[in-house]
Amino acid sequence: MQIKKIDDFQWLLPRTGSMRVPGIIYTNESGLNAIKKEETFKQVCNVASLPGIIKASMAMPDIHWGYGFPIGGVAAFDWETGVISPGGVGYDINCGVRLARTNLEEKDVRPHLRNLINALFREIPSGIGSTGSLKLTNSEEKNVLKKGSLWAVQQGFGHASNLERTEDGGCMPDADPETLSKRALERGKKQLGTLGSGNHFLEVGVVETIFDLEAARAYGLFEGQVTLMLHTGSRGLGYQVCDDHLAMMTKQANKLGITLPDRQLVCARIQSEQGRHYLSAMACAANYAWANRQILMHKAGLVLMDILGISPNTLGMNLVYDLCHNIAKKESHIIDGKKQIVCVHRKGATRSFGPGHPSICPEYRKVGQPILIPGDMGTASYVLAGTQRAMEETFGSTCHGAGRVLSRKAAKKASRGRSIQRELEDLGILVKWTGRSTLAEEMPDAYKDISQVVDIVHGAGLSKKVAKLRPMAVLKG
């Protein structure tokens, strides 16, 4: 497959065959070598062949293979003529990250760390298929699906001020619970307030370095500060929505009038009944995920206060931001000098809206929206800020994590004969986990070097480095 260097951070996959637009990969020379080129480039090119795609099929430096669309992929489709694809959103609809800051410093927490991680492990249900203490009635579940984070706040989980620090206020419009299958609703009733499995985590961290003082001040971050980072999504409900709609769209794939290069790219016109049906169900799952993260972060704050024996004022917990990295959104962007309404698919990619964007809350608007980039449980995570350049080049998007370099199977093999827990403890990081293979599959070597990935999006101007966080204690699914 042909690839041409555009500059130090951008590579072009020129149009060939059925591609309607070119592919663009954001990475550098060494990042390019780390990508499994055949399978991932092919996925970028396949996405470029879908109807209504605008500008380019893009990939961020954390790119790796995904179902149909690559993880780390960004693609925008014209709202009138384009398509929506469940594989372009992913199975875990609105999987995302939220970060809370506290008034505490490492020295306040370090002596209690073992008790803290044990208590978090007790209080936050985790693992595949885990169920929570919240058992929803049918009508309560429908309210969750319609209201998202607001529902959680109304039940006493967190504060109303959290909403404006959540992407889209923690609620996508047009969420109609009647679009969900019985099975999806059934799965959702028992799983609200649970972390999930494997890659999902709750992490106690500390701000190690500040790169951009003005943005860090706006976000309320300072060196030595203790933070809580949460990564989870819409659990079995979101999975079921994706699965249901893949099956429905596959049945009616002939309606699209094109031959798909890969069956996993199955999609529907945005302006079709099927397209609208999926978007409404996706919005329900997105709202469920926001409520889930709102509940879990509140619970984590209660555990911190209990273990440290401190008051809410001493803890001073405040949401920095909450973002989704598996979503399709109706957005307005300037394309070739003209405003255009598009459906931006970000699958393993994060919104990166720059300074002045009206959707950013007033405290952050001057510096751009916060972006939360988890790395891995043994290295680091980053806080970045959105940029104008991202608005111009990538429909306001950047990377979402380090991205895997080892498959789960390869990671398990590479961990044989090692104690990942001990390796992490030697670095001062405590870890508790639920799944039998989680620690091996999720070990730091399974992921790309987060600092390199972040240096690429910073160098490419898609987002700006604000702060680096170091993990202290990690709860994994």
Ligand X SMILES: Nc1nc2c(ncn2[C@@H]2O[C@H](COP(=O)(O)O)[C@@H](O)[C@H]2O)c(=O)[nH]1
> Catalytic positions, please?
400
Q: Is 229 annotated as a binding residue?
A: no
The residue (of 142 and 400) whose beta carbon lies closer to ligand X is 400
Q: Which does 386 bind (CB under 5 to 8 A by kind): ligand X, Mn ion, none?
A: none
Report the distance separating Cα 125 and Cα 434, nearest Å: 9
Give the residue ranges of DSSP H helices in 128-167.
138-147, 149-154
Report the distance separating Cα 469 and Cα 370, nearest Å: 14
Shortest distance, CB of residue 429 to Mn ion, whole angstroms? 20
Shortest distance, CB of residue 55 to ligand X, whole angstroms? 24
Q: Which does 476 bind (CB under 5 to 8 A by kind): ligand X, Mn ion, none?
A: ligand X
Q: Which long-range contacts (CB under 8 A, 24 or more apart) does 300-306 make?
A: 300/100, 300/120, 300/123, 300/124, 300/202, 300/228, 300/230, 301/100, 301/228, 302/123, 303/116, 303/119, 303/120, 303/123, 303/124, 304/102, 304/104, 304/116, 304/228, 306/119
The residue (of 391 and 469) whose beta carbon lies closer to ligand X is 469
Residues within the interface to ligand X (CB under 6 A): 62, 71, 95, 199, 201, 203, 231, 348, 374-377, 381, 400-403, 442, 447, 471, 474, 476
Shortest distance, CB of residue 444 to ligand X, whole angstroms? 9
Q: Is 377 annotated as a binding residue?
A: yes
Shortest distance, CB of residue 433 to ligand X, whole angstroms? 9
The residue (of 374 and 396) whose beta carbon lies closer to ligand X is 374
Shortest distance, CB of residue 175 to Mn ion, whole angstroms? 19
Residues within the interface to Mn ion (CB under 5 A): 92, 95, 233
The residue (of 89 and 221) whose beta carbon lies closer to Mn ion is 89
User: Can you state the angle between helices 138-147 and 182-191, rounded to 10 degrees?
Assistant: 90
Distances (CA, A) of 397 to 100, 264, 333, 394: 22, 23, 12, 5
Q: Are the beta carbons of 165 and 297 closer than 8 angstroms? A: no
Report the distance separating Cα 171 and Cα 165, nearest Å: 12
Q: Provide φ and ψ at 9, rounded to 5°.
A: -125, 5
Instruction: Name the CA radius of gyration of the chain, rounded.
Output: 21
The residue (of 134 and 319) whose beta carbon lies closer to ligand X is 319
Q: Which residues of 12-37 are buried (b: 16+ CB within 10 A; e: fewer)?
A: ebeeeeebebbbbbbbbeebeebbee
Q: Are the beta carbons of 351 and 396 closer than 8 angstroms? A: yes
Q: What are the structure tokens assigned to 371, written together?
A: 């972006």
Shortest distance, CB of residue 290 to ligand X, whole angstroms? 16
Q: Which residues of 287-316 are buried (b: 16+ CB within 10 A; e: fewer)?
A: bbbbbbbbbbbbbbbebbeebbebeeeebe
H helix and E strand count, the chain: 17, 19
Q: Is 476 annotated as a binding residue?
A: yes
Q: Is 138 annotated as a binding residue?
A: no
The residue (of 231 and 464) whose beta carbon lies closer to ligand X is 231
Q: Which does 322 bind (CB under 5 to 8 A by kind): Mn ion, ligand X, none?
A: none
The sign of the dihedral angle between the CA atoms of 23, 27, 30, 31 is negative
Shortest distance, CB of residue 158 to ligand X, whole angstroms? 22
Q: Is 159 annotated as a binding residue?
A: no
Name the 3-class secondary structure at 100: strand
Q: Is 202 annotated as a binding residue?
A: yes
Q: Which residue's Cβ has the minimum distance to ligand X?
A: 401
Q: Which of 153, 149, 231, 145 is nearest to 189 (CA)?
A: 145
The residue (of 264 and 314) whose beta carbon lies closer to ligand X is 264
Q: Which residues are annotated as a binding site for Mn(2+)?
A: 92, 200, 231, 325
Q: Which residues are annotated as a binding site?
A: 92, 199-203, 231, 325-326, 374-377, 381, 400-403, 476
Q: Which residues are annotated as a binding site for GMP?
A: 199-203, 325-326, 374-377, 381, 400-403, 476
